[in-house]
Structure 1
């Protein structure tokens, strides 16, 4: 779900009808970047304004209270909004420059009966979403703090619009003014008419630009430099008519093609295709609900962080390998150092090279060695020995670093697998804690008195013929189960060479025989909770816990094991 500028234009009109005059009762936080503002208006039922700074971003209003809403302890930005906005009334909802930025104005009577206005900027930009609270043009606080070359988002800093938000709003121009704008754009020789429109104006998408070009009788790939004055007249006229059509249109048009694929548009596109007309606000909430809501949005953001960390480890490994390529000359430097040491008695003033006999091969052959002309042979020999020792150290450290990168990549693959299985708040919080411990997810500011949960992880259990089978559902649970909870005589299972859960059959006594059906059931569970769960067959290794060892200094959940046997099973349905 992505909101374009035209959809936001209609959404703002809907929000103005619903929110103007509404008073802020309470502000809650449903996730790190998701907030719920409870509103009250005398002539309507209580409403709930939902704000999301994850990608995909959204903003919508509910006229009913959501069921099973789990609020999290309030963080800094939520507390700032409570301080500055609770008790305020909404005065206006505005779209900035036809861009994906919505500004909500809040007014509150404060000391001395003065009316103080504050603004909440909801930047619904897929590349950099944010929610920013300002007063008198100064940032009071922001959901996401950032410091970049072109923009700083920090408290007590002047608020500036994101890059590219300065493009023009074509809805504000008359047809004559649009014609004047189209006369003097800065163009390149290969600029097409659509690229010029995208560069000049906010709020356009491909569907709308295709319609403008069709009405103006201009090809989508026609070069702008080939347009005549008449062609520009038609382009300005078509652009103005589309602006009027947008102003006269409400809601969202959902078109269904012959294959059943649904496309959406903020303006009517075709009379030949069946369509459904819905309000933008209702469509957003339906999309959010169908995609999993709060949990799904948070998980998607965490998955992006995991993927970014994985790509970082790949780049790191590639760079180390490139540096390791230089170690190919290591043995050559050692040879040159030895040969120069043997021939150190020779006088070669200011020579850039020397040819000596290589005594380390049979029969000896002549070899030419580059020299530093400012040094004697003994000093040149020491120089090559230093290079040799440096490359030798690099090779040793590089091998260790590559191993660490590969372990981290395996760990991140495991994280990505377990993240895809997160369906509830408890599992989401566990994933966040693991990402914070790994240095991947930024630690949020905790509310005073809110303590980190230090209890042992709760494991999933299954009982088969009197035997208890434990299942780890993430890396932290895997490590706890295998290295702390399980006894040496227990039997450990894991899908072979793919991410998955650790599964353990608990035995009361080392001499207790485990029936074959219990072993197969545990193997099928390990296959079910692995990346191969959609495969027809999965190879599952099993061994005693005493043969499973944690990788030294390795990430959580990564182990080495030996004395294993393998079962090929169908994943448990």
Structure 2
């Protein structure tokens, strides 16, 4: 979205037409920086989302519903107290800036009507959500702002609300904008509009200039005229809600001439389509960052441990040589004199003469006993270290599987399952005691030629799909020598067609760590040939009697159910 007054004013005008006179049914706060308001406008229930997320601040109607936390944050409790059953009077952009104000009417404790204002400042990392009373004093806000030498504006409870100062020329003021443009040549118009005019982003500036040029009026007067119309574009002939189909996806309240676009029926529909995807990706990335850090630390620690233990195992393999040396010394005590540093003896294991080192400080029998003790210690240590080495190698295998699972996560539910697996493995702290919320295991389901195909994208999903959903004679598929999805092709005991098998293999290839490859080898076998791995880690298995097929990674979105 062009982050400017032009787009937000059009959104506000569209929201005003839709929500004005509507009654608030419920207010929720699904994210720490986002609230949703359920509104009944006399015809249908609508869901308004207001987000102060610094990466994608926004306000629009949405069809995406999120899960709400158990405990209500402070701002949410204040909103429910004062405007939980309010009527929306109007929605408008204020202060010629990226600020939208929702005027509300609600009854106070004395059952008298009172006005409130919900102010949504959508300005990148300075975004905020603020509730004002009818004297326009702050009742509460998402973020507080304490005044200092550089910033005299304050956002504190009880303070009078003042919008940020705006010293630029407003594009809705055509005479002032025309006068400001006159000293500049045409090639500098865009930079002036972006840097010195209020309410204009770079895409909007380019669109204004292109529109003026199309009308053969690329002059200060013509640009100011088009800019004024853009300032209230919702009520102008230039209003044309559009989606940018190229990546990165975006939307505009006008027909943007510098990208491939598709028109939509409303600006809110554009915002919901673009922001829902962007917000999902942004929050998934933020939520997975801490898990990625914990996994990287665990992998590094385990790799270091494997290196140390492997060296100890190699040292333990020298124990037999020490035992032989001790035996030879014990057998030939009569040949060794106190103080000798070496002795040459006949080695009856190799039938050769050997020169052995001695400790001149110890008696020969004491030195032999010392060697025997060292042998016993190394022997016991070797057995213990071999077990530890196997355990750490199994852990490393599991951690790499979790890394792939984290990369394949597409929804918050996928991420929650990975987090639960990591918590059970001790990689992150356990939840505080209390009611434990069991993660919901949602796997992918496909339908092709009357056959069901099930796909798990990680440990818990793989475990469930393989051993709960899959039947003994179903076909089980997995990318060869790679971490990734377990796929079950339901065959009802019949031999599947080659095309169907390839279809399932393409899904298994896509949901694996090798999804970027052009071709991936996929192993397949009957489900009864799949067993849980001896390491007893969730989702790890081994399999026998398998065949391999080459497949091109494909998510097959068209067949998802």
Q: Which residue of 1 aligns with 2:349?
A: none
Please say which structure displays the higher CA radius of gyration. 2
Contact 1:483–1:550, Cα closer than 8 Å, also in 2: no
CA gap 1:549/1:492 in 2 versus in 1, 3 angstroms: farther
Q: Which residue of 1 aligns with 2:337?
A: none
Contact 1:101–1:122, Cα closer than 8 Å, also in 2: yes
Question: How many Å apart are 1:6 and its aligned residue?
Answer: 0.8
CA gap 1:10/1:119 in 2 versus in 1, 3 angstroms: same
Q: Which residue of 2 aligns with 1:452?
A: 437
SS of 1:111's equivalent in the other structure is coil
Instruction: Name the CA distance, whole Å, in 2 between partners of 1:527 and 1:267.
Output: 41
**Is 1:245 equivalent to 2:229 in the alignment?**
yes
CA gap 1:2/1:86 in 2 versus in 1, 3 angstroms: same
SS of 2:485's equivalent in the other structure is coil
Count of residues paired in the alignment: 431
Question: How many Å apart are 1:7 and its aligned residue?
Answer: 1.8
**Among candidates 305, 308, 311, match of residue 286 of structure 2:** 305
Instruction: Name the CA distance, whole Å, in 2 between partners of 1:140 and 1:439.
Output: 38
**Is 1:525 equivalent to 2:485 in the alignment?**
no
1:306-348, CA deviations, whole angstroms, 9 ceiling, x for partnerless residues? Answer: 674588589979999xx9xxx9xxxxxxxxxxxxxxxxxxxxx
Question: How many Å apart are 1:297 and its aligned residue?
Answer: 6.1
**Which 10-residue stretch deviates more, 535-544 or 2-11?**
535-544
Question: How many Å apart are 1:250 and its aligned residue?
Answer: 2.6
Q: Which residue of 2 aligns with 1:380?
A: none
Instruction: Name the CA distance, whole Å, in 2 between partners of 1:459 and 1:245.
Output: 49
CA gap 1:297/1:161 in 2 versus in 1, 3 angstroms: farther
Question: How many Å apart are 1:172 and its aligned residue?
Answer: 7.5
CA gap 1:564/1:416 in 2 versus in 1, 3 angstroms: farther
Q: Which residue of 2 aligns with 1:478?
A: 462
SS of 2:200's equivalent in the other structure is coil
**Is 1:12 equivalent to 2:7 in the alignment?**
no
Q: Which residue of 1 aligns with 2:85?
A: 87
Q: Which residue of 1 aligns with 2:417?
A: 434
Q: Which residue of 2 aligns with 1:415?
A: 406
Runs of 5+ unmatched residues, structure 1? 185-190, 218-233, 328-399, 420-427, 508-513
Question: How many Å apart are 1:194 and its aligned residue?
Answer: 4.4
Question: How many Å apart are 1:401 and its aligned residue?
Answer: 12
Contact 1:5–1:100, Cα closer than 8 Å, also in 2: yes
Question: How many Å apart are 1:204 and its aligned residue?
Answer: 0.9
Instruction: Name the CA distance, whole Å, in 1 between partners of 2:156 and 2:82.
Output: 14
Contact 1:503–1:522, Cα closer than 8 Å, also in 2: no
CA gap 1:179/1:154 in 2 versus in 1, 3 angstroms: closer
1:506-525, CA deviations, whole angstroms, 9 ceiling, x for partnerless residues? Answer: 99xxxxxx987599967853
1:373-413, CA deviations, whole angstroms, 9 ceiling, x for partnerless residues? Answer: xxxxxxxxxxxxxxxxxxxxxxxxxxx99998997675344
Q: Which residue of 1 aligns with 2:530?
A: 545
Instruction: Name the CA distance, whole Å, in 2 between partners of 1:47 and 1:298.
Output: 23
Contact 1:313–1:408, Cα closer than 8 Å, also in 2: no
Contact 2:413–2:440, Cα closer than 8 Å, also in 1: no
Contact 1:106–1:117, Cα closer than 8 Å, also in 2: yes
CA gap 1:264/1:141 in 2 versus in 1, 3 angstroms: closer
Pairs within 5 Å for 1:54-65: 58-60=58-60
1:451-478, CA deviations, whole angstroms, 9 ceiling, x for partnerless residues? Answer: 724677778699999x998642544211
1:409-460, CA deviations, whole angstroms, 9 ceiling, x for partnerless residues? Answer: 75344334341xxxxxxxx5632532653789x99x9xxx997246777786
CA gap 1:141/1:413 in 2 versus in 1, 3 angstroms: farther
Contact 2:169–2:176, Cα closer than 8 Å, also in 1: no
Q: Which residue of 1 aligns with 2:548?
A: 567
Give me the TM-score of the superposition, normalised by structure 2: 0.53
Contact 1:27–1:38, Cα closer than 8 Å, also in 2: yes
Contact 1:254–1:275, Cα closer than 8 Å, also in 2: no
Contact 2:445–2:455, Cα closer than 8 Å, also in 1: yes
**Is 1:26 equivalent to 2:25 in the alignment?**
yes
Instruction: Name the CA distance, whole Å, in 2 between partners of 1:453 and 1:286.
Output: 35
Question: How many Å apart are 1:120 and its aligned residue?
Answer: 2.2
Runs of 5+ unmatched residues, structure 2? 214-218, 309-390, 557-561
